[in-house]
């Protein structure tokens, strides 16, 4: 038996966000695309991890669907019903830019179920670390509505599951290029869940994820946003992790770390303007595993979120999976076009954001 678990399900590949252009469904003046603009096939990612021999280091597990009770740890019953009804009707928009097909509700339940199972497994000591390669993603889904491809908030369901398992302090780290408004909203007033998001400043949702959003009420100080300027690369992300995430985690002392592990901050991704490479995600993942070993007995769960480059997403998933398994960074044929760019080095305007957080956020002062 391995120390690492891999959760995936065939039906997650059957979810279809539609043939629209970007987030826009087919309509007047919108020509259907022949390939998904916003949801590349994750089979290629899993296939590369298998072909590279990295999947051999994991126990591959097939999750069951999340129950209504599990989903309603985060979402309203009306929201769950809306997703189910839109899917049962054969398709449509289940929220805001959240297109579904007949299989989507089932796929979304499996994605959330994978996170819940992974958390229970890791908390019980079945495995030390887990990775959920699931679709649809989740971090934009709010308690009462689907948004931006996200139907149910997978990592938030995982965090609530951890609390149900008796853990008092849960940390959610989100490095998707977009701000995880749904995760932040779910735990905005919860002092026992630390939400940290490293994302591109001002990208999506509009006006979401600013430095001044630090939680409310009893949860004041339990939200920490790191909005990096567009064009940030490897050094900026590693500086944000070592100078902001690590001290915040040590101050909070989580009992488990969950990661919304989107890979759309890459330099080849069409949905963002960042410069990360597979080496960046390998380094960030290694850092989380080391932090978990220091603070919470090694317990950490990674949940796939965004990633929209059909050719580069598989390499980025491989970089993440290799680090979870304690393996070196993979050979990456795409890195040569990104490594030489000036934005890979920490720039003064990027450093100012990190410096400000270090001096002003409640967890950092």
Query: Quick check: is 199 catalytic?
Result: no
Phi/psi for 188 (5° steps) reads: -60, -30
d(CA 143, CA 161): 15
Other CB atoms within a 10 A radius of the CB of residue 211 amount to 15
Q: What residue ranges in the chain does DSSP mark as E strands?
A: 4-7, 58-61, 91-93, 95-96, 99-101, 129-132, 146-147, 170-174, 193-200, 223-228, 256-261, 300-304
Q: Give the residue carrying structure tokens 């826009």.
A: 24
d(CA 53, CA 61): 17
Q: Provide the CB-side half-sphere exposure for 333 (13 A, CA).
A: 2
d(CA 61, CA 299): 18
Got the DSSP string for 214-267? ---GGGTT-EEEEEEPTT--HHHHHHHIIIIIHHHHHHH--SEEEEEE--TTBT
Q: Which of 75, 140, 188, 268 is catalytic?
A: 140
Beta strands at 193-200 and 300-304: parallel, antiparallel or unpaired: unpaired
- Residues annotated as catalytic (active site), given as ranges: 140
């Amino acid at each position: 038996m391995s120390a690492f678990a891999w959760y995936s399900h065939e039906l997650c590949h059957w979810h279809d966000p539609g043939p629209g252009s970007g987030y826009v469904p087919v309509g007047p003046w919108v020509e259907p695309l022949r390939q998904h603009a916003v949801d590349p096939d994750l089979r290629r990612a899993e296939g590369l991890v298998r072909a590279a021999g990295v999947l051999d280091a994991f126990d591959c597990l097939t999750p069951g669907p999340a129950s209504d009770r599990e989903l309603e740890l985060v979402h309203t019953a009306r929201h769950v019903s809306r997703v189910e009804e839109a899917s049962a009707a054969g398709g449509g928009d289940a929220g805001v830019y959240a297109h579904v097909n007949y299989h989507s509700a089932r796929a979304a339940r499996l994605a959330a179920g994978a996170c819940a199972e992974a958390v229970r497994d890791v908390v019980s000591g079945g495995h030390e670390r887990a990775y959920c390669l699931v679709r649809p993603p989740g971090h934009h889904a709010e308690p009462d509505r689907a948004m931006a491809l996200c139907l149910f908030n997978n990592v938030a369901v995982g965090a609530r599951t951890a609390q149900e398992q008796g853990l008092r302090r849960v940390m959610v780290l989100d490095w998707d290029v977009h701000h995880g408004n749904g995760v932040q909203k779910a735990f905005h007033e919860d002092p026992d869940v630390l939400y940290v998001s490293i994302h591109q400043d001002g990208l999506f949702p509009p006006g979401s994820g600013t430095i001044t959003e630090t939680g409310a009420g009893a949860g004041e100080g339990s939200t920490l946003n790191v909005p990096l300027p567009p064009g940030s690369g490897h050094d900026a992300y590693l500086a944000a992790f070592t100078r902001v995430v690590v001290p915040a985690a040590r101050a909070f002392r989580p009992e488990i770390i969950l990661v919304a592990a989107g890979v759309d901050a890459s330099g080849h991704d069409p949905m963002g303007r960042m410069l990360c490479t597979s080496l960046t995600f390998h380094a960030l993942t290694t850092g989380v595993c080391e932090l978990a070993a220091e603070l919470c007995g090694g317990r950490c769960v990674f949940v796939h979120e965004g990633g929209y480059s059909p050719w580069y997403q598989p390499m980025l998933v491989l970089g993440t999976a290799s680090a979870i398994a304690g393996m070196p960074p993979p050979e990456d044929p795409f890195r040569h076009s990104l490594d030489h760019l000036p934005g890979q080095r920490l720039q003064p305007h990027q450093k100012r954001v990190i410096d400000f957080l270090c001096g002003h956020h409640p967890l950092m002062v």
